[in-house]
Each structure stands twice: as C-alpha cells, then as structure tokens.
Amino acid sequence: MNLKEMVGIEAAGYVKDGMVVGLGTGSTAYYMIEELGRRVKEENLSIIGVPTSYASKKQAEALGIPVRTIDEVEAVDLTIDGADEISSDNHGIKGGGAALLFEKIVATYSKKVLWIVDESKMVDTLGAFPLPVEVIPYGSQQVLRLFEKQGYRPVLRLDEDGTPVKTDCHNYIIDLHLDTIADPEALAVTLDSTVGVVEHGLFLNMVHTIIIGKSNGPAVNHVRP
C-alpha cells in the first residue's frame, strides 16, 4: 500500500453515517473516494457526496455514492481533500489538478476540513510548488503581463497540445513560480483584488485536521477543533 492510499483509507474512517461529505480531487483523494465507495457497498454507509470536480463526481457515481452539488445541500459536514503543499503553520497550496475553485467553495461551506497528504508535501514555507491562479480567458494576457511586472514569474498552464488548460468552469490557470511565499495573507489580498482573477490556490486558515502518510504509518495533526 502506497502512502497516498494509506491516508486515503485512514481519512475515510472519519466519515460517519448520515454525513454530507466534500469529495476532494486528485491522486490522494481518489483513494479516499474508493474507500468510501467500498463502505457504501459493504457496510451500507449512508452519505451524500459533494464532489469538487467532474472527475470526482464521475468516480463517486460509478461507486454508487449519491452526489449533490454544493447548492443542493445546506452545509457540508466534512470535506476531505489533498494538498500540493502544507506549511509548518498549516496553510496550504492547492490547485495542481486545476480544481481549486470548486475545492475552495466546498471547503468554505464545510463545518470541518481534513487534508490528506504524503510527507513530501509538508514544507516549512509555501512557494516551492507553483501557486495556481484561476483567471477568466478574457484579459488573461493582461493579467499575465501584470504578474510578470510584479515579479511572480507567471506561466500559463498548457495542455499537451499546447492549448491553455481549461478548468471545469472553462477558465485558465496561471502558475506563479514564487519559490518562497513569505507572507501568504498579503499575497492572497493582492490576488483577490486583481481584476480577472477568479480564485487562487492559497488555502489559508481553513484546515482542521491533517493526515500525513509516513513510512511507519499515518500521522494525525489536529490543527483546530
């Protein structure tokens, strides 16, 4: 069993009967959704899943997990998702899979947020992983130029055929190669106020519990009640 599978299965154990569960996106969340599907089938677990991407929705439906959109539920009890980086002060970067907008919406309207990662994602300071920023296509070149002037070393994310990657909302992703983000809160404010930016991958003060996959087993970090 690899580390991603280990933490995915461990996290699925936090889901209780009757919960509305935010279903994350990515290679680690995949194993969590698979385990929830097994529990639904073998343990008659009764849950509602709120997927954070069309990929997670398709996977959940194939496993027999009932799904709803974020607008079809009053609130989400627990969202379980991966992260691309987590700093020592428990801030995160997400969006490597281009699902950051849906992921942040679902997390924002969740009572609890649980992140699942392998130990390679734990860092002292955010920034080595390029920060994804979702922008609308119209004016995206202007935003790109603005980011260049600000010294963010932006790169428009492209598919294998050389066309811009499109999110589930048909927006573009610009990745900022910052190396180190000394003040994530200040950067978040700057990005939030930039016209054309839909959302960014800084997930600050959002997580309640982190499960870290290590060679000797999963480690649990309770960040806040």
Write out pLDDT tens, residues 146-156: 999 999 999 99
Q: Rounded to whole angstroms, how far apart are CA atoms 109 and 209?
A: 16
Q: Residue 195 has what DSSP assignment? A: T
* pLDDT at position 202: 98
How do residues 168-184 score in pLDDT, each as one tens digit? 999 999 999 999 999 99
The C-alpha angle 45, 51, 54, rounded to 5 degrees, equals 130
Interval 120-136 mean pLDDT = 97
Task: Examine the pLDDT at 74 and tell me if it is beyond 80.
Answer: yes
User: pLDDT-based confidence at 1, cuts 50/70/90?
Assistant: confident
Distance between CA 19 and CA 111 in Å, rounded? Answer: 11
**Which residue segments constitute the domains of the chain, with CATH numbers given?**
3-122+204-222 (3.40.50.1360), 131-198 (3.30.70.260)
To the query of whether residue 10 is one of the catalytic residues in this protein, the response is no
> What does the alpha-carbon distance between residue 67 and residue 76 come to, in Å, rounded to a whole number?
12
Choosing from 103, 119, 148, 160, the catalytic residue is: 103
Rounded-to-integer distance, Cα 15 and Cα 25, Å:
17
Q: Render pLDDT for 2-47 as a digit per residue (tens, 0 to 9).
A: 999 999 999 999 999 999 999 999 999 999 999 999 999 999 999 9
Banded pLDDT at 102 (limits 50, 70, 90): very high
